[in-house]
Amino acid sequence: MPPNANPESSSSSSISTTTTITENDDRTYGTEMEIDEHGQKCSSPTTNGQIRRRKVSHAEQLMMKMFEEAENVGHMLHNAWNVCHFSHLPKWLQDNDYLHFGHRPPLASFKACFWSIFRLHTETLNIWTHGVGCLSFIIISVYLFVCSQYANVPTIDKIMLGIFLTTAILCLGLSACYHTLSCHSHQVCIFFCKLDYCGISLLIAGSIVPCLYYGFYCSLFPKIFYICLTMVLCVASLIVSFYDKFSEAHFRPVRAGVFTSFALSSVVPAIHWYLTHGGTTQLSSAFQSASFFIILMASLYIIGVLFYALRIPERFYPGKFDLYFHSHTLFHIFVFAAAIAHLCGLTTMADVRLFSDVHLAQCEL
C-alpha cells in the first residue's frame, strides 16, 4: 500500500466497484419514454427484469381473455334451445297434436328464428320446401322474361304471365317466412300466419286470371266478367284471412274449405268456355295439352288439401312423422308441384295465342 493511501478510501472504492458490478448485472436493452416530475418526456432504460415482468403481464392478459371467451361460450350453450314435446309448447304454438316431439320452443329473437332453419325440427321441411320453391320461381321468372321467347311478347301478355309468377313467389315466400318466424311470439305468429293465408288467396287469383285472359282471348265480356268475379272472391278471401279466429288450429277444415271453394269457382268459367269453344276443333285440339296440365294442377291441389285437412299420415301413426313428411310438408310439396303444372299449362295456352296459328292469334276462330 502506498504511504499516502487511505485504507478506508480503498475499502470504499472496493465496495463501490462491487456495487456497480451488481447493479450493472441488469443490463439495459433499450430505452422507454417516461414522464418526469415536470411533465416532460424522458428516456428510461429497459432492463431484463422489466421485460420479464412485461411478459408475465401479457401472459396474464391472455389467460384472462381465454377465461372470458370460455365464459361466453358457456353462456351461449346455456342459452341454446332444444326441441321439445308438444305438451311443453304454449297454447299458441300447439297446432298439430299428432306431431309429438321435435317442436321449437318460443324463440324471442328474429336471429334465432332464422338460424333455426338449419336445425332439424317439425318446421324444417316446411320452411325449405317453399323457400326453395320461391327461389325456383324467381329464377324461372328471370329466364322467361330475359332469355326466352316471352321477352318480346306484348306488354299485356307479360303482365298476365307476371301475375301468376309474382303471386307464386309471394305465396311460397310468405309461407317460408311464416314457418320460420312462427315460434318468435304470439303476435308475430298471428301476423305472419295472416300473410301466409293472404299469399294462398293471391296465388289462387293469380292462377285463375291469366287462364281467363287466354281462354276468353277474343270474348271481351265473359273475360272481364269472370276476372272481376275472381277479384271479388279474392278480396273476400283476404278479408276472412285477417280474422284472428281463422288461424286457430281447430279452424283447419274451415280454412281448407274457404280456399278450395275459391279455387273451384274457376269451374264455372271452364264449363262456359267448353260450351262456347269446345266445338271449335282447331282451338280444342290446340288447348288439349294445356287442359291436361290444368287438370293435373287441380288434382295436385285437391290431394294436397286433403292431406292438410285430414292430417294424413300422422293421424294414423302419431309421433312417427314428427320431423319428416307429415301432412303440412306433403301439402307444401303438392302446392309447389301444382304451381309448376299450372305454369306449364299457362305457357301452353300463351303459346297457342301468341306463337302457333295466325288465325288463333287474330281471334279468327
CA 86 to chain centre: 24
CATH number assigned to the domain with residue range 110-361, chosen from the 4 options 1.10.10, 1.20.1070, 1.10.4160, 1.10.3470 = 1.20.1070
- Residue 30, pLDDT above cutoff 70: no
Q: What confidence tens digit (pLDDT) does each residue in 149-170 have?
A: 999 999 999 999 999 999 999 9
In the predicted structure, residue 32 carries a pLDDT above the cut 90: no
Q: Is 328 labelled as part of a ligand binding site?
A: yes
In this predicted structure, what is the pLDDT of residue 60?
75
Q: Quickly state the pLDDT bin for 45 (edges 50, 70, 90).
A: low
pLDDT attached to residue 13: 42
Rounded Cα gap, residues 62 and 128, in angstroms: 43
Q: Please tell me the least confidently modeled range out of 90-94, 252-256, 339-343.
A: 252-256
Q: Of the segments 4-13, 212-221, 320-329, 346-355, which one has the largest average pLDDT value?
A: 320-329
- Residue 88: is its pLDDT beyond 80? yes
Q: Output the DSSP codes for 77-101.
A: HHH----B-GGGS-GGG---TT--S
Q: How far apart are CA 317 and CA 78, in angstroms?
A: 34
- Domain map (residue ranges) of the chain: 110-361
Report the mean per-residue pLDDT for the chain: 82
Look at residue 132 in the predicted model and tell me its pLDDT. 98
What is the CB neighbour count within 10 angstroms for residue 315? Answer: 14
Q: Per-residue pLDDT for 348 more than 50?
A: yes
Query: Does the pLDDT at position 26 exceed 60?
Result: no
Q: How far apart are alpha carbons 170 and 176 in whole angstroms?
A: 10
* Cα distance between the two ends of the chain: 142
pTM: 0.75
